[in-house]
Amino acid sequence: MTNNTYKYLLSDIKNLKGVGLKTSKLLKKKKINSIFDLLWRLPKSYTDRSFVSKICDLMIGKVQTIKIVPLRYQFPRVRNLPNRVNCIDQTGKIDCIFFNSHEGYIRKILPLNEEVTISGKISSYKGRYQVTNPSYISQDSALVKTIDNKYSLTEGIKEKTYNKIINQILKNLPILDEWHDKEILKKFDNQSWNEAIIKLHDPSNIENFKANFYKRLVYDEIFASFLVNSEIRKKIKKIKKTSKQFKKKVQNDIVGRLDFNLTNDQRNALNEINQDLNSKSKMFRLLQGDVGSGKTIVSLISSLNVISSGFQVALMAPTEILARQHYKLAKKLFPTNTCIELLSSKSENIEKKRIVNGLKDNKINMVFGTHAIFQEKIIFANLGYIIIDEQHKFGVRQRKLLSDKGGNNCDVLLMSATPIPRTLTMSVYGDMDVSIIREKPQNRKEVKTYSKLENKIDDVIKFVKKEIKEGNQIFWVCPLIEESKKLDHQSSVNKYKYLNELFPNKVALLHGKIENEEKEKILNKFLKKEYSILVSTTIIEVGIDFPNANVIIIENANKFGLSQLHQLRGRVGRGVKQATCILMFKSNLSVNAKKRINILKNSNDGFEISEEDMKLRGFGDLLGFKQSGVKNFRLADPIQNEDLFLLAEKQIKKIEIENLKIDKYQALLKLYDQADIINDMV
């Protein structure tokens, strides 16, 4: 029943006529491997050779088509001088110039006294029209009067060759069975995939982004990406595991020990996680929440539940500093009979060995660390729960690998503070169930945000003095470590020197080049309030929790994206005091930059900010998205095509709820998602 005609489109480009080794190598360098890949290079403009001009009407500098009669050959016997053919029509004279062409060839293609159609760029030399190496010459004018698309060509491939290749493909497009439902198709004026592809390459449709054929192709692409994710999710859900049984008392005790109440969103997220842990199918869940929304505590409470059910837990953080922070919090909150350890790259070998053995013998209940905790030599006796903090850089496929790694009994929770626009949720996280914490803890005051020109630094220093007097602490963020001649960002090193003179013994410096051990020491001292100012690069961006710091100053703020600024700002305002964020700029702001800053000033909601950020800068620049794979859309644009993203989401939900068969999407999935992940699926 299944239709296999799509296979032609997946075949190697070297099977095409006119694509030799050289062309195929050039294209493959640009990641164009299959015929299908070639379809998405769109024409930018076109050359119309269909109109035949008279010589007297020629325009210099333009590609034009003329019918001429060759009268005389001029073949100079001197090296480097071109061969020349004098030609005429009823209205004037023109010379055809040939570099690097043999006499015999020229005599053949331009026989004297016979009418020939040529096409090429017209120039003039000493008052005479001429055309150098015309691109088309034929006695059959129909072969010349073409319309050639101009593609942004791969170097080394000629326009004529490229057009021949594309036209060959368009002529041989297989007729694919329609994969969409009738109602969906109606929205695109019932245009078939084939029709749409042909229109896509029709020069009269260049940049016709609003047309139905174009939208249909965009929709195909979005839908395919959503469907793959949805299938991965279903597949993971089908994995059977031993349900985790725990008593409500464990959770109640730890919640009772907290010096705050959980927010409603935190409670809901915890319930959703607990339900998954209890269930007989594997959890694969994302805990999404803005910076400071309190994800850590949710993950720790659920960890304790898992531990009490007899399983081990592993929590992986992107940096050692964060791993240690989580470890310390757990140490403070967990009952003393739980055995938890921090696996640090700096630990002594004996210490490491002890932890490795403890995990193998099931003596250790929970381990904290960076990706090192998933090294091969680490064997868990009974791993039941993996938590991964702040890993927005993981793509769908990496997550799938990770989820496989723990084995069937292992539930997986990812935590991310990267809020993403709604249109993107399904393509970025469609493979997971999602719990969202929107609500911030109630005691939070909004961070007040100001912008300042760098030459107003004296005002900033005055403000800092006042804050220090009141016992507050300050983050001072600079984009680079050392002064670079090319990039004139403020370096943290210089700023440290400058501030240290103003505030002797009160300033600490932290950057990526400082050894981990030293970093920890510095952060600990800052935490103990031995310093008032921490000058730092953006390494403080992720996850660090210092409730006493309530001012953050960000230099060269225009070098950061909005979402990133929001993340940085999220480092403060975690305590009860009013927090302040000062964005410093080198020079007056452009209109666009002002708009961006105003968004930040007016909103403390990461989701809202990311939507706006995307509208202003395009989604590719959103924090962390470069790695997430979303950028791989060929036509779809989350801003322009919001409606199609929502339509696809609706359709996927329908398929999931009604448990519809997806066989009819086989060709779509094979074409648009060529990864192995679907091989055993359809």
Distance in Å, CB of 294 to ligand ADP, minimum:
3
Distance in Å, CB of 651 to ligand ADP, minimum:
33
Alpha carbons 6 and 63: distance in angstroms, whole number: 38
Contacts to ligand ADP from residues 559-618, by CB under 6 A: 574
**289 forms part of the interface with ligand ADP (CB under 6 A):** yes
Q: How wide is the angle at C-alpha 564 spanned by C-alphas 560 and 565, nearest 5°?
A: 75
**43 forms part of the interface with ligand ADP (CB under 6 A):** no
Distance in Å, CB of 447 to Mg ion, minimum:
17
**What HEC string does 381-404 produce?**
CCEEEEEEECCCCCCHHHHHHHHH
Q: Which of 384, 419, 479, 543 binds ligand ADP (CB under 6 A)?
A: 543
Instruction: Say if CB 520 and CB 547 are below 8 A apart.
Output: no
**439 forms part of the interface with ligand ADP (CB under 6 A):** no
Instruction: Say if CB 283 and CB 346 are below 8 A apart.
Output: no
Q: Which residue has tokens 């017209």?
A: 122
**266 forms part of the interface with ligand ADP (CB under 6 A):** yes
Distance in Å, CB of 356 to Mg ion, minimum:
27
Contacts to Mg ion from residues 524-543, by CB under 5 A: 543
Rg, the chain, Cα only: 33
- Quick one: 33 exposed, middle or buried, by C-beta within 10 A (0-12, 13-18, 19+)? middle
- Quick one: 52 exposed, middle or buried, by C-beta within 10 A (0-12, 13-18, 19+)? middle
**302 forms part of the interface with ligand ADP (CB under 6 A):** no
**417 forms part of the interface with ligand ADP (CB under 6 A):** yes
Q: Based on CB atoms, which residue is closest to Mg ion, 38 or 340?
A: 340
Distance in Å, CB of 315 to ligand ADP, minimum:
12
Distance in Å, CB of 443 to ligand ADP, minimum:
6
Alpha carbons 268 and 289: distance in angstroms, whole number: 13
**295 forms part of the interface with ligand ADP (CB under 6 A):** yes
Q: Based on CB atoms, which residue is closest to ligand ADP, 299 or 628?
A: 299
Q: Based on CB atoms, which residue is closest to ligand ADP, 288 or 580?
A: 288
- Quick one: 576 exposed, middle or buried, by C-beta within 10 A (0-12, 13-18, 19+)? exposed
Query: What stretch of H or E contains 201?
Result: none
Alpha carbons 158 and 118: distance in angstroms, whole number: 18
Q: Which residue has tokens 């729960």?
A: 385
Distance in Å, CB of 605 to Mg ion, minimum:
17
Alpha carbons 211 and 194: distance in angstroms, whole number: 15
Query: What stretch of H or E contains 204?
Result: none
**Which partner in ligand ADP, Mg ion, none is near 99 (CB below 5 to 8 A by kind)?**
none
How far lies 616's CA from each of 418, 523, 561, in Å? 17, 35, 10
DSSP per position, 120-136: EEEEEETTEEEEES-SE
Distance in Å, CB of 295 to Mg ion, minimum:
5
For residue 249 the two structure tokens come to 């008392």
**419 forms part of the interface with Mg ion (CB under 5 A):** no
52-53 and 63-74 strand pairing: parallel
**291 forms part of the interface with ligand ADP (CB under 6 A):** yes
Interface with Mg ion (CB under 5 A), residue total 1
Q: Which of 89, 159, 520, 545 binds ligand ADP (CB under 6 A)?
A: 545
**Which partner in Mg ion, ligand ADP, none is near 384 (CB below 5 to 8 A by kind)?**
none
**641 forms part of the interface with ligand ADP (CB under 6 A):** no
Q: Which of 203, 395, 547, 618 binds ligand ADP (CB under 6 A)?
A: 547
Q: Which of 441, 448, 586, 616 binds ligand ADP (CB under 6 A)?
A: 441
**297 forms part of the interface with ligand ADP (CB under 6 A):** yes
Contacts to Mg ion from residues 538-597, by CB under 5 A: 543
Q: Which of 146, 296, 423, 651 binds ligand ADP (CB under 6 A)?
A: 296
Alpha carbons 159 and 148: distance in angstroms, whole number: 8
**Which partner in ligand ADP, Mg ion, none is near 545 (CB below 5 to 8 A by kind)?**
ligand ADP
Stretch near ligand ADP under the rule CB under 6 A, chosen from 220-228, 278-286, 488-496, 539-547? 539-547
DSSP assigned state of 33: -
Instruction: Say if CB 176 and CB 120 are below 8 A apart.
Output: no
Distance in Å, CB of 383 to ligand ADP, minimum:
23
Alpha carbons 169 and 37: distance in angstroms, whole number: 11
Give the three-state DSSP class for 172. coil
Q: Give the number of other Cβ atoms within 10 Å of residue 5's Cβ.
A: 12
**292 forms part of the interface with Mg ion (CB under 5 A):** no
Distance in Å, CB of 293 to ligand ADP, minimum:
4
Stretch near ligand ADP under the rule CB under 6 A, chosen from 147-155, 288-296, 558-566, 584-592? 288-296
**Which partner in Mg ion, ligand ADP, none is near 291 (CB below 5 to 8 A by kind)?**
ligand ADP
How far lies 554's CA from each of 38, 538, 559, in Å? 45, 9, 10
**419 forms part of the interface with ligand ADP (CB under 6 A):** no
Distance in Å, CB of 536 to ligand ADP, minimum:
17
Instruction: Say if CB 554 and CB 568 are below 8 A apart.
Output: yes
**294 forms part of the interface with ligand ADP (CB under 6 A):** yes
Q: How wide is the angle at C-alpha 52 spanned by C-alphas 49 and 58, nearest 5°?
A: 95
Stretch near ligand ADP under the rule CB under 6 A, chosen from 174-182, 258-266, 306-314, 342-350? 258-266
Residues whose CB is less than 8 angstroms from the CB of residue 528 and which lie 6 or more positions away in sequence, other chains included: none
Q: Based on CB atoms, which residue is closest to ligand ADP, 163 or 299?
A: 299
**318 forms part of the interface with ligand ADP (CB under 6 A):** no
Q: Which of 64, 135, 229, 293 binds ligand ADP (CB under 6 A)?
A: 293
Q: Give the number of other Cβ atoms within 10 Å of residue 345's Cβ.
A: 11
Q: Which residue has tokens 């015929």?
A: 35
For residue 167 the two structure tokens come to 């036209």
Provide the binding-site residues for Mg ion, judged by CB under 5 A.
Answer: 543
Residues lying near ligand ADP in the complex (CB under 6 A) are found at: 260-263, 266, 289, 291-297, 417, 441, 443, 543, 545, 547, 574
